[in-house]
Amino acid sequence: MADAFLYVLLILDATFRVATPLVLAALAGMFSERSGVIDIGLEGKMLGSAFAAAACASVTGSAWAGLLVGVAAAIALSMLHGFACITHRGNQVVSGMAINIVVAGLAPTLGFAWFHQGGQTPPLSGDARFASLTLPFADATADWPIIGPLYSELISGHNIIVYMAAAAVPIAAWILFRTRFGLRIRAVGENPHAVDTAGISVVAIRYRALIVTGILCGIAGSYLSIAHGAGFARDMTAGKGYLALAALVFGKWKPVPTLFACLLFAFTDALQARLQGADIPGIGVIPVQFIQALPYILTVLLLAGFVGRAIPPKAIGQPYVKER
Amino acid sequence: ADFTPAIVFDMGGKFDKSFNEAAYHGAEAFKKDSGVDYLEFEVTQASQREQAMMRMAKKGANIIVAMGFAQAGAVEKAAKEYPDTKFTIIDMVVDLPNVQSIVFKEHEGSFLVGMAAALASKTGKVGFVGGMDIPLIRKFAQGYVEGAKYANPDVEVFQNMTGTTPAAWNDPTKGGELARSQFDRGADVVYAAAGGTGIGVYQAAKDAGKLAIGVDSNQNYLHPGTMLTSMIKRVDVAVEEAFTSAKNGTWKPGIQVLGLAEGGVGWALDEYNEKLVTDDMKAKVEAAKADIIAGKIKVTDYMMQN
Amino acid sequence: MSLPALELRQINKWFGPVHANRDVSFRVDRGTIHGIIGENGAGKSTLMSIVYGYYQADGGTILVNDKPCPIETPEDAIDAGIGMVHQHFMLVDTFTVLENVILGVEGGPVLRSGMAAARKELDRLERDYALQVDIDSMVGDLPVGLRQRVEILKALYRGAEILILDEPTGVLTPQEADHLFRILANLKEQGKTVILITHKLREIMAITDNVTVMRQGAVVANVPTADTTREKLAELMVGRSVLLRVEKKPVTPGEVVLSVRGLKVTDGAGVHRVKDVSFDVRAGEIVGIAGVSGNGQSELLEALAGMRPISGGEIVYKGKSIAASGKIGSPRDLRRIGMAHVPEDRHRAGLVLSFSANECTILGYHDDVAYNGGLFLDNKAMVRECARQEEAYDVRPQNPMLSASGFSGGNQQKLVLAREMERDPDLLLVGQPTRGVDIGAIEFIHRRLIEMRDAGKAVLLVSVELDEIMSLSDRIIVMFDGGIVGEVDQVGAEEATIGLMMAGERVAA
Amino acid sequence: MSVVGSAPQNVPRFVTLGLIPLANLAAAFIISGLVVVIVGDDPLQALEVMLYGAFGSAESWGFTLYYATNFVFTGLAVAIAFHCGLFNIGGEGQAMLGGLGVGLVCLGFDDWPFVVVFPLAIVACALFGAAWAFVPGYLQAKRGSHVVITTIMFNFLASALMTYLLVEVLIAPGQQSPESREFAPGAWLPYMHDMLRAIGISMPETPLNLAFVVALAASVFVYYFVWRTRWGYEIRTVGQNETAAVYAGISPSKNIILAMAISGALAGFVGLNEIMGVQHRLILDFSGGYGFVGIAVALMGRNHPVGIALSALLFGALYQGGTELAFEMDKITREMVVVIQGFVILFAGALEHMFRPQLESLFTRRSNAAAPAGE
Ligand SMILES: Nc1ncnc2c1ncn2[C@@H]1O[C@H](COP(=O)(O)OP(=O)(O)OP(=O)(O)O)[C@@H](O)[C@H]1O
Ligand SMILES: Nc1ncnc2c1ncn2[C@@H]1O[C@H](COP(=O)(O)OP(=O)(O)OP(=O)(O)O)[C@@H](O)[C@H]1O
Ligand SMILES: [Mg+2]
Ligand SMILES: [Mg+2]
């Protein structure tokens, strides 16, 4: 019983770690897409910031400096996306893909030029990386029944970015639904003409939304290279940007449902790691590929079964042109 | 000099932190020793394998080293097309008069590190993280399991594969998570055979204060203190040797199987892990190594099974 | 003589090769209601968009309160005290009324405080100008009449002194329109200036003080309303004399073509939209369905046309049941047996705006042998047929290759009408045939409908324009809250009686 | 696609169709050139190597067109879904399944005459690809499951399936790598150089094969299907205005499923080119990202077969020229090639309107003659 409890706790613990970059990236996508700009370039922005963060952290030895530069890199890429899609009304999907591709090539190229380690950054250690934090009383309460392990195993012991991601959800929700900025972002994604005629610049709002996207994406990427991991490796995002996008659509562009979609992806991922090779009574050992496919199968089933039609922001994907 | 060696790396790229990178180091060592530059190409698309080989043969390369089993088809075609060019393929057998096939007994090396893992484990549980579930990786896994069981028949071995797409070879984040999931289940030593994904595995071991085992090249230096050892596969030596022998005219076609006896595989002992490997462990592993060479211990070769 | 609130001098505007405004100059006095009329595409909306800073003029000056006032953006216009209610509402459907109103003037970075203040101010505006609307309801859920109030509230909330309304009554019921005019009169009384764009001469005559007539981008007249007549204005607008009254022969109804029995329609959200409706339409008559919009007429029409499932009752067409107990015929099958349907909203259903005119011509008839030369669509036949219809319905420009979005609203409507009527159907279902269409085109469309009827066809007309219903229909059915409240003969029908019925009162006719 | 700011009619065609794309490509190459300079190589030489590598000889043309073949298939696949208002990101998985279908046919029937195997292979790859897209299409149509998510998921599922099959089932006996056995040569698609040799034209050996002709045929098919048939008309109506479709008696769900199935079939043809045309055995990872890049190909080609053919040629040239670059220039790595490809997509695709206003106004005369349209 206690074992089973701990087992579940550890799975959930892993879920949080895996979900963190997804949550941050999906929220990043939310700001962009809520403002009407499709963001298929989450992958590239994350990868770019993972590289920038690791590069900076390895040079300066400071994880915080790394995070800052990682965020800056993601913002820069976000602005490039804005320049193409907002200023020049380019196709948003093409721009996002172009950014993904450019970054996938540029990061290792620069990495090789700077560090001569085959496109990777040197492994980070010490202050160059965000270490796990032990929350107050975690050790003291560890022995308490139920609550003890819950607190010390599950809540405590993550790096700071995990907590940032946890905080990002309510903050993002608050910004989106309770502030002027959020109101305008939502409006510009639904009906940019209404925003324009209300005397607000559509372009400025979209750019600002993209800055927020950059910030969140930057944190997500930094998590991969200087918090969860300890250095940059080429293509290290491994499709997480696309998964985050899927979570965003799954969550119907709303912060809390998106969080749950990310947690679901992460949970099935943590679960499949533990089911691989497990002997399931009555069935035997299932081929590993099927276990690995489990998260995806589950997602499809859930989508088909429970989640209704997702209605995207109305103006998404269309460059703003004054028309009637 | 009119001697031109060439090498075609596979999709992982020459900096994959394992197999291809070892080959790269071998080629570089040759370049340093002989002063002869070499042609190289990193494949990004399945069709480029053949394209690259043909290009190099046409450019007058005397020997072309093809890295990895996936290049077999391309080598076969190119070798037939250019019968005067020498081809060396690593990790796969191509039976042609101008092809040298070098395969390693990874299972033997893995057996040794499996033993080391089981001996170093305090919990009696050890782990294995592979990249994709392909025969080559199963070969690693099987040797590892056999070694671990040999050292401790009660040992429990957890096995995980990272994914089903090529991204599985380059996903340190996922690798780290898989290692952690094994630690959560009680493992305290993990062995990674997963290319760049391994970086995440070693890092996770370091973060958790557990032990990890490197693969292909000697990766002990990455995290002194938590890298128990590395299963070395002397791809670098093989590549350098292929180049050198071709240059000296001693290159011979045919199959070369490099196992413990030939020094093609082994386990790494150096200053970075000397504190982790006890004398007792060392003695037992070395004894088993001798037994394998002597044929007293038979390590199953996954490839031979089917 | 009162002061000019707004004066335009030599405004010019080009859209590519199109000269949308030519040297437009006129002035609007403070505290008056100023009307602007003109045909579709005359440049009225463009001009007002320039005044509002939404478009930039290529030349000319705008003076507000006698001072030159460069207006580059809507923000400048708002600062200058100009507010605008656009022809196509500029509202965010997924926002509440309150959120829509404060958008752009939120009163601080965090919404909460600004919203509280806005509630108070809105309360005051609602009271002062009789602009009642539930400010917490979602705009997308509101009927158009209320949405328009939201637009007016938006303008007033921003402190507009000059309020521009672009075709505000195009989507309103007579009651709603009357209410709007009371609001406008109220505004005028309080010293505000109102600019009103409309196609309806009755409205111009009823409430404006001065009127400007535009044709082909230029001002052709600028007169006090009292000095002119409807006929004169119509002639100025169109450049020829227009028949403002429909003439028709006495009705000679034939046999029953469409018979609806106990029809029930439930929408996706489970709300009963049409409740137990029964009526007949005979050959050779026009049956009008009147009612305030949102009382089930739209759903009824769509159900009859096969676009919506029914939840009860039966529809019988020429003696055959085409829909009963949940099963409906597809619009495709219905067309085959001689039904045609002009949908209420040409943009939503009647046209595919990105398609060329000739592609729109075959919408719904695309598997007709006439257009399918074997495996492939017969492009030549499509273009030929489209050209023929454009000619017959005087669609301008007469270009079968132009995309539907390139036609003005009136011409788009003609394209739809032509497609549906040229098939010579036995039953024509028509919704809002003249919404947003100028008087020249209205005259034409009405004449066509009467011709259909005289040719012995059955016509079911749904319109929120009571005028239109009264002048075209032989019988009038009034709907309220999904049910039929009464039926009157056109002969002797009183506007007041029907008005009462539309409000839900059962009046013995 | 929504036409952005409908171009003034009186801009000469050579500006819109020639000058502007050229300016965009030039910008892409200038930026890429900067990267080349930064790594210390000669950008002009790089450009030359790239252009020559892509178009300089019959051999380079062969390779360029071989790559373009894949892009035509995936570009058309994305486009046809787009015409129905669907965003098919699943080209990658559909290509894999198409390859599986071809592979199974070849493995099972490679001792049969080619005239039998070939049509069977065509049908199999179309069917397998279509089936893999059918499910997301069906779920979108009937259950409202967003096709973007489901197709992403189906890409993962496809590679899991392929890995399983190649490791456990189809792997050649006694074989180390997860590949099937090689097909008998009778089941190989004829190479272009062999076909040309048969009619007396000599061409160097390249992977270009009969699938290229299939790609051209597919383009023609898509053109006629989308613009000239009632089925295409229905698909476009659903994509542009679903309510209008219902009004016209066109079933949105039927057409969504149909469009996805055709889209999947087209993507599946990548398997024909790769498996039956070049690899001659079933392998992993032959889909090589063509499915994803197909999105850019389709959008840059304006979802029109002619545009797609042109942009597929551009991407084919980028791939082949890029390969040559990596070969020929010491300091240019395969990552740099990726960077250059990315910049071309960025400038020629996403930033296509950047120089438009300037160039257009340079060549536009304002005509005063035209009177306002309207009634
Ligand atoms: N966004 C635009 N792009 C190009 N041309 C336009 C645009 N808007 C208007 N035009 C042109 O300007 C002319 C005037 O259009 P406008 O919308 O002002 O007419 P209107 O008088 O408001 O018509 P309606 O009575 O139908 O509302 C049109 O004939 C059209 O050619
Ligand atoms: N984007 C555009 N580009 C060029 N011309 C346009 C464009 N949009 C509209 N027009 C032209 O504008 C004229 C009037 O269009 P408009 O949309 O104002 O019609 P409308 O009658 O006002 O329709 P509605 O009443 O439904 O708004 C038409 O003659 C049409 O050719
Ligand atoms: Mg107008
Ligand atoms: Mg208009």
Please report the domains of chain C, with CATH numbers, ordered by start residue: 4-238 (3.40.50.300), 252-338+427-509 (3.40.50.300), 352-424 (no CATH)
Touching partners of B (3+ C-beta pairs < 8 Å) = A, D
In chain B, alpha helices (H): 19-34, 48-58, 72-81, 106-120, 135-151, 172-184, 197-208, 235-248, 279-294, 302-305
Residue of C12, C13, C18 best suited for mutating to test ligand 1, as the one with most atoms within 8 Å of CB: C18
**Which pLDDT value is given to residue A160?**
92
Query: B290-299 burial, b for 16+ CB within 10 Å, e for fewer?
Result: eebeeeebeb
Q: Are D257 and D235 in contact (CB under 8 A)?
A: no
Give pLDDT tens digits along chain C (509 positions).
568 899 999 999 988 778 889 999 999 999 999 999 988 778 898 999 999 998 999 999 999 998 999 999 999 999 999 999 987 889 999 999 999 999 999 988 999 888 989 999 999 988 888 788 888 999 988 877 788 889 999 999 998 999 999 988 876 767 778 888 988 998 999 899 999 998 888 889 999 999 999 988 999 999 999 999 988 888 888 777 766 677 788 888 889 999 999 999 998 778 898 999 999 999 999 999 998 777 889 899 999 999 988 888 999 999 888 887 667 778 988 998 999 999 998 988 999 999 999 999 999 999 888 888 778 899 999 999 999 999 999 898 899 999 998 888 888 999 999 999 998 899 999 999 988 788 888 888 999 999 999 999 999 999 888 888 888 999 999 998 899 998 888 766 777 788 788 877 776 65
Interface test with B, best of A16, A22, A125, A236 (most B CBs within 10 A): A236
Question: What does pTM read for this prediction?
Answer: 0.89
For the cut 50, the answer to whether the pLDDT of residue D7 exceeds it is no
Domain boundary assignment for chain D? 44-354
Do the chains contact at B164 and D174, CB–CB below 8 Å?
Answer: no
CB proximity D273 to B under 8 Å: no
Read off φ and ψ for residue B91, nearest 5 degrees.
80, 15
Both tokens of D233, joined, read: 């008309």
**Which pLDDT value is given to residue D372?**
39
For the cut 60, the answer to whether the pLDDT of residue A1 exceeds it is no
> How many whole angstroms separate alpha carbon C331 and alpha carbon D246?
8
- Which range is least confidently modeled, A141-145, B2-6, B267-271, B300-304? A141-145
Model confidence band, residue A102 (pLDDT cutoffs 50, 70, 90): very high
Domain D44-354: top CATH class: mainly alpha
Predicted interface score ipTM higher than 0.95: no
Both ends of chain D: CA-CA distance in Å?
28
Strand duo C483-489 + C475-480: pairing:
antiparallel
Chain centroid to CA D234: how far?
Answer: 24
At A209 the three-state DSSP class reads helix
Taking the CA atoms of residue B267, residue B269, residue B272 and residue B276 in that order, the dihedral angle to the nearest 10 degrees is 90
> How many whole angstroms separate alpha carbon C235 and alpha carbon C222?
14
- Count of CB atoms within 10 A of residue A287's CB? 16
> How many whole angstroms separate alpha carbon D67 and alpha carbon D290?
9
Amino acid at D345: I
Do the chains contact at C354 and D370, CB–CB below 8 Å?
Answer: no
**Which pLDDT value is given to residue D96?**
96
For the CA of C214, the nearest atom of ligand 1? 21
Q: Are C84 and C77 in contact (CB under 8 A)?
A: yes
How far D372 CA sits from the closest chain C CA (Å)? 5
Both tokens of C89, joined, read: 């509402």
For the cut 80, the answer to whether the pLDDT of residue D168 exceeds it is yes
Element (H, E) at A214: helix A202-222
Which is it for the CA torsion D319, D325, D328, D331, positive or negative?
Answer: negative
Sequence-distant (6+) residues with CB within 8 A of B290 are none
Taking the CA atoms of residue C334, residue C338, residue C339 and residue C340 in that order, the dihedral angle to the nearest 10 degrees is 110
| Location of structure tokens 């989308």 | D226
pLDDT per residue over B41-50, tens digit each?
A: 998 888 889 8
**Which pLDDT value is given to residue D364?**
66
> How many whole angstroms separate alpha carbon D162 and alpha carbon D169?
10
Amino acid at C23: D
How far C396 CA sits from the closest chain D CA (Å)? 6
- Count of CB atoms within 10 A of residue D371's CB? 12
> How many whole angstroms separate alpha carbon B306 and alpha carbon D176?
9
Element (H, E) at B132: strand B125-132
Q: Is residue A283 exposed (0-12), middle (13-18) or buried (19+ Cβ within 10 Å)?
A: exposed
How far C134 CA sits from the closest chain D CA (Å)? 30
> How many whole angstroms separate alpha carbon A62 and alpha carbon A131?
12
Instruction: Give distance in angstroms: CA of A324 to centre of ligand 4.
Output: 8
Which ligand has the shortest distance to the CA of C199?
1
At D57 the three-state DSSP class reads coil
Query: C16-38 burial, b for 16+ CB within 10 Å, e for fewer?
Result: bbbbbbbebebbbbbbbbbbbbb
Which residue's alpha carbon is at the smallest distance from atom 11 of ligand 1?
Answer: C20
Both ends of chain B: CA-CA distance in Å?
46
Interface test with C, best of A181, A195, A197, A324 (most C CBs within 10 A): A197
Set of chain D residues whose Cβ sits within 8 Å of the Cβ of A304:
139, 143, 145
pLDDT per residue over B90-99, tens digit each?
A: 988 899 999 9
Residue ranges around ligand 2 (CB below 6 Å): A 323-324; C 40-41, 45, 87, 406-410, 436; D 6, 373-374
CB proximity B166 to D under 8 Å: yes
At B161 the three-state DSSP class reads strand
Which residues are paired to C339 by β-bridges? C427
For the cut 80, the answer to whether the pLDDT of residue D159 exceeds it is yes
pLDDT per residue over B213-270, tens digit each?
A: 999 888 899 899 999 999 999 999 999 999 999 999 999 999 999 999 988 999 999 9
Do the chains contact at D246 and C331, CB–CB below 8 Å?
Answer: yes
Instruction: Give distance in angstroms: CA of C26 to centre of ligand 3.
Output: 18
**What fold characterizes domain A2-125+142-306?**
ABC transporter involved in vitamin B12 uptake, BtuC (1.10.3470)
**Which pLDDT value is given to residue C179?**
84
- Which range is least confidently modeled, A54-58, A142-146, B137-141, C399-403? A142-146
Q: Are B230 and B215 in contact (CB under 8 A)?
A: yes
Q: Are A205 and A195 in contact (CB under 8 A)?
A: yes
- Highest mean pLDDT among A43-57, A146-160, D162-176 belongs to A43-57
Average pLDDT of chain A, as a whole number? 89
Which residue's alpha carbon is at the smallest distance from atom 8 of ligand 2?
Answer: C406
pLDDT per residue over A226-285, tens digit each?
A: 999 889 988 899 889 988 998 998 899 999 999 999 999 999 988 888 888 777 777 777
Interface test with A, best of C15, C92, C96, C165 (most A CBs within 10 A): C92
- Which range is least confidently modeled, A37-41, A120-124, B160-164, D202-206? A120-124
Residue ranges around ligand 1 (CB below 6 Å): A 323; C 15, 18, 20, 38, 40-46, 87, 408-409, 438; D 372-374
| Location of structure tokens 């979609």 | A261
For the cut 50, the answer to whether the pLDDT of residue D84 exceeds it is yes
